[in-house]
Amino acid sequence: MTRWKAIPWVLVGVALLAVSLVAAGLSSPHQSANGEKPQASTPAGGGGPTVLGTFGTTPEVFPLFPPGVPAMASLTVKKIHVKEGATVHPGDVLIEFDPSTVLENKTQAEYAVTEAEWLADQARKKFELHSLEIERAKLGVKKAQEEYDTAKLARDIVKETLEEALALKDISKGGFLTEEEKEVRRRRNENLQKTEAAVRLTAIGLEGAKIDLKKAEVAPPLLEADADVQRANAAVARLKAAAAQATAVLESFKLKAQVAGTVELISVVEGMAVGPANRTPLMYLIPSGPRIVRAEVEAEFAHKIDDYIGKPVTIRAGQNFNDTYPGVARRVSGAFLPKRFGSDALVGNQTRALECIIEVTDPAPAGKTPLRPGQPVRVTFGN
């Protein structure tokens, strides 16, 4: 009799347990249809939604692949200049590849530039010699002009002196000379004839000097020398460009840091051959720029996010709810896009979300484990 009286109490206990399990299932975050992590939820107490995100950098972490070198199917690692954890700056060489296959091209290009510069120098000297010929011809014209002017001056002085004498009375004849007599005396005056001849000869010399100058200015050798200089200068410029290109090709055998940051996960060793077919990065570069969280907001919570832009948020490292990190919501993407992390590009119907950028105020507070790029986090808005 006692046993049958206890049965109703057992039934009541089972019923209460079933109700508790149903209530727990309704209060827990629901699982998405494609098997992803729980969607964003709104915590009790009036706070904003909590969404999943990934802690990262801006710019993002760099996966570094082999550099592209023209006509090189593969490259051989010659020297690795950094170690994992090394801090680098823009322009620092990270990996140097063996450039022996193209090193001779640079050497030949430099020799060709040296030869072209020598030829250009010879062409300039030849041109300068012709220029000196022109200057000498100009001096010849100047000298001939001076001689002509001096001869004219001497002739004019002799002529004036003679005319003054002819204008006086001839005592032997008791009167003035007639014009016919004056002309006869002019023809017979030796000094006048000499100075007249000097004027004619210097005039001829002046004309000859001018002709020599003109010939020097338009002489084919001068024109050819000028053309040689132009061709030589063009050859120097062309070969310098070729040498610069060869130098650039050699520089492409060096993998350099594009931004400041820290090197991690080096996957190559010296002597290893790599090429475009290598899908594994040679190393990763963690930029030293600002730290952010890229949070993924599902569609059903998108209408709530805009009100939190510019306001503080609370960041928690994955499942660790004890350590919190301050942040500020800065912007939300203008479209629902495929998820940046954890999505499969081969899936036609990818899950889409709004990406919200969270500026992390202090990613490594005292007494707490620092956040690291790539780490999953949870972001609660409104706290």
> What integer pLDDT is reported at residue 44 of this predicted model?
42
Rounded Cα distance between 143 and 133, Å, is 15
pLDDT band at 224 (very low <50, low <70, confident <90, very high): low
Q: What is the CB neighbour count within 10 angstroms for residue 113? A: 20
Rounded Cα distance between 265 and 84, Å, is 6
> What integer pLDDT is reported at residue 237 of this predicted model?
85
CATH 1.10.287 residue ranges in the chain?
Answer: 103-248
Instruction: Give me the architecture of the 63-98+253-283 domain, per CATH.
Output: Beta Barrel (2.40)
pLDDT of 189 higher than 80: yes
- Higher-pLDDT residue of 27 and 354 is 354
Token code pair at residue 78: 């010659």
pLDDT of 140 higher than 50: yes
Angle at 255 between CA 249 and CA 260, to 5 degrees: 130
Rounded Cα distance between 284 and 171, Å, is 125
Rounded Cα distance between 41 and 300, Å, is 10
> For 3-33, how does the pLDDT look when each residue is reduced to its tens digit (9 = 90+)?
444 444 444 444 444 434 433 333 333 333 3
> What integer pLDDT is reported at residue 350 of this predicted model?
67
pLDDT of 287 higher than 80: yes
> For 241-250, how does the pLDDT look when each residue is reduced to its tens digit (9 = 90+)?
888 887 888 8
> For 57-106, how does the pLDDT look when each residue is reduced to its tens digit (9 = 90+)?
988 998 999 887 776 778 899 999 999 999 999 999 999 998 887 777 77
- Higher-pLDDT residue of 38 and 127 is 127
For residue 308, give the DSSP letter.
Answer: G
Average pLDDT rounded to a whole number, residues 138-142: 92
Amino acid (one-letter) located at 188: R
C-alpha closest to that of 295 among 339, 344, 346? 339
Find out whether 285 and 263 touch, Cβ atoms under 8 Å: yes
Burial class (CB in 10 A: 0-12, 13-18, 19+), 281: middle
Rounded Cα distance between 379 and 383, Å, is 10
Residues of the chain with pLDDT > 70, as a percent, come to 80
> What integer pLDDT is reported at residue 322 of this predicted model?
79
Amino acid (one-letter) located at 343: S
- Higher-pLDDT residue of 159 and 224 is 159
> What integer pLDDT is reported at residue 357 of this predicted model?
92
Give the three-class secondary structure for 102: helix
Q: Which residues contact 179 (CB under 8 A, 6 or more apart)?
A: none
> What integer pLDDT is reported at residue 1 of this predicted model?
39
> What integer pLDDT is reported at residue 383 of this predicted model?
63
CATH 2.40.50.100 residue ranges in the chain?
Answer: 63-98+253-283
> What integer pLDDT is reported at residue 306 of this predicted model?
84
> What integer pLDDT is reported at residue 203 of this predicted model?
93
> Where does 103-248 sit in CATH, by number?
1.10.287
C-alpha closest to that of 144 among 191, 194, 193, 201? 201
> What integer pLDDT is reported at residue 30 of this predicted model?
38
pLDDT of 278 higher than 90: no
> For 195-223, how does the pLDDT look when each residue is reduced to its tens digit (9 = 90+)?
999 999 999 999 999 988 888 777 666 55
For residue 299, give the DSSP letter.
Answer: G
Mean pLDDT across the chain? 79
CATH 2.40.30.170 residue ranges in the chain?
Answer: 31-58+290-381
> What integer pLDDT is reported at residue 105 of this predicted model?
72
DSSP per-residue codes, 221-262: HHHHHHHHHHHHHHHHHHHHHHHHHHHHHHHTTEEE-SSSEE
> What integer pLDDT is reported at residue 18 of this predicted model?
43
Find out whether 318 and 376 touch, Cβ atoms under 8 Å: yes
pLDDT band at 39 (very low <50, low <70, confident <90, very high): very low
**Residue carrying structure tokens 């660790």:** 320
pLDDT of 172 higher than 70: no
In this structure, of 109-123, 131-145, 367-381, the range with the lowest mean pLDDT score is 109-123
Rounded Cα distance between 89 and 81, Å, is 13
Average pLDDT rounded to a whole number, residues 96-120: 80
Could you tell me the CATH superfamily of domain 31-58+290-381?
A: Efflux pump adaptor protein, beta barrel domain (2.40.30.170)
> What integer pLDDT is reported at residue 338 of this predicted model?
84
pLDDT of 40 higher than 80: no
